[in-house]
Amino acid sequence: CYDLLHGGHIAFFKTASAYGDLYVSIGKDDNLLSLKGKKPVFSEEERLYIIKSIRYVYDAFLASGMGLLDFEPDIKRLKPDIFIVNQDGHTPDKEILCKKFGVQYLVLERIPEPGLPARSSSETKREMRFPYRLCLAGGWIDQPWVSEIHPGSVVVAQIWPTMDFNDRSGLATSSRKIGIKLWGDKYPAGDHEENARLLFGAENPPGKPYISGSQDQIGLLYPGINRLYYRGGYWPEKIESATDRETCEWLSVVIHLVPLEPRPQGYDPLKIMNLEKPLIKELGEAGDRCWESVLKKDIKGLGRSMTDTLLSWKKILPLTVPDWIMNELETKYFPDYPGAITSGSGGGYVMVASEKPVEGAVKIKVRY
């Protein structure tokens, strides 16, 4: 449909135009709505205007048919010599239709212009969606009833929605759903702090018995990797950010998520609490060490800070680390990798720090 035009489209048009005069068929809004359940971002008139303006395109038109083969009436009308698609656009039905009309069917590789990244519409749209949040170390210190005993740091990372991560798995999915209600499934424009405070307020209206910690909202709306320093308040006293490409891509490489069972419904990690100052101090210091390790790209220090956070949870809030999870980490991950932690209390994903592949893991991509 050529919605959200990008460099990959232009490279495709350039290559296709080498075969002769290039005619481009554009899907109508009502057909796209019936096929995808939603209208394109740009209207058919605007998409047609844009495509007609590209120098590699001889002419463009709105497809006169409906369905996945909406261009069929136009093939009959134009009688082209070649019908060209890229690998993403290839389907057996298109190939069969071309054979029926005696038209050569050609599938082009998706090759970008030299020096430019490979692009696809699906990837572009996915990257525009609302992100997720990872808590690397120091979790729970963002609660005032923890940091008022001893201050400390939480380290969070904003990650691309490269997949639909499981609900109730510690990736701030509850906060994310509220954010989508506010802004739609897209990353909001504007000031990061203002947006994070707005989301915090929306998730914690007056009278709510349990206040969601602000690391969720900040982690979702601040790009890159962020250290949040708490001293007894709901909002951090200080926020430090790392948004440079080198650091964010390093973290993307060394963090691996292995799926666990999600937290059960009705799960309450706060039934047992040991809020002792030395234990809270250990938790906050794990967050500090995590931040230092990220900036140094120190995989051993990162892994140790993640493991230390988990061990602190076990001491402070024992129900956040059930015995079956601790057994799995102690047998499968602690012996073989620099460190590991669960993505959330009571389940979700095992988050492993490792410079080598981890069996059964999915990869993340830090957004910067």
184-202: pLDDT as tens digits: 888 999 999 999 999 999 9
User: Could you tell me which of 338, 340, 156 has the C-alpha nearest to residue 248?
Assistant: 156
Domain ranges across the chain:
7-124, 129-363
Structure confidence at residue 127 (pLDDT): 61
User: Would you state the pLDDT for residue 119?
Assistant: 65
Average pLDDT on 16-34 reads 94
Residue pLDDT, tens place only, 249-278: 999 999 999 998 766 677 788 889 999 999
| CATH class entry, domain 129-363 | alpha beta
What topology is assigned to 7-124 in CATH?
Answer: Rossmann fold (3.40.50)
Going from the C-alpha of 364 to that of each of 161, 249, 293, the distances in angstroms are 8, 10, 19
Are 263 and 348 contacting, i.e. CB atoms less than 8 angstroms apart?
Answer: yes
Helices (H), 102-191: 121-128, 144-147, 173-183
pLDDT in tens, 112-143: 888 887 766 666 666 668 999 999 999 999 99
SS3 for 112?
A: coil
pLDDT recorded at residue 126: 61
Q: Residue holding tokens 């997949």?
A: 163
Q: How many helices (H) and strands (E) does the chain have?
A: 14, 12
Angle at 364 between CA 359 and CA 365, to 5 degrees: 145
pTM score above 0.75: no
Q: Which tokens is 33 given?
A: 């709505």
pLDDT of residue 122: 60
Q: Tell me the percentage of the chain whose pLDDT exceeds 90.
A: 76
Supply the pLDDT for residue 109.
Answer: 87
pLDDT tens, position by position, 49-107: 999 999 999 999 999 999 999 999 999 999 999 999 988 889 999 999 999 999 999 99
pLDDT band for position 161 (cuts 50, 70, 90): confident
Top pLDDT among 6 and 318 is at: 318
Distances (CA, A) of 323 to 49, 287, 302, 327, 346: 61, 23, 24, 6, 10
Residue 121 confidence (pLDDT): 62
> Which pLDDT does position 355 carry in this prediction?
96
Region 235-261 average pLDDT: 96
Stretch 301-319: mean pLDDT: 97
* pLDDT-derived band at 325, boundaries 50, 70, 90: very high
Cα 105-110-113 angle, rounded to 5 deg: 125
Mean pLDDT of all residues belonging to the chain:
92
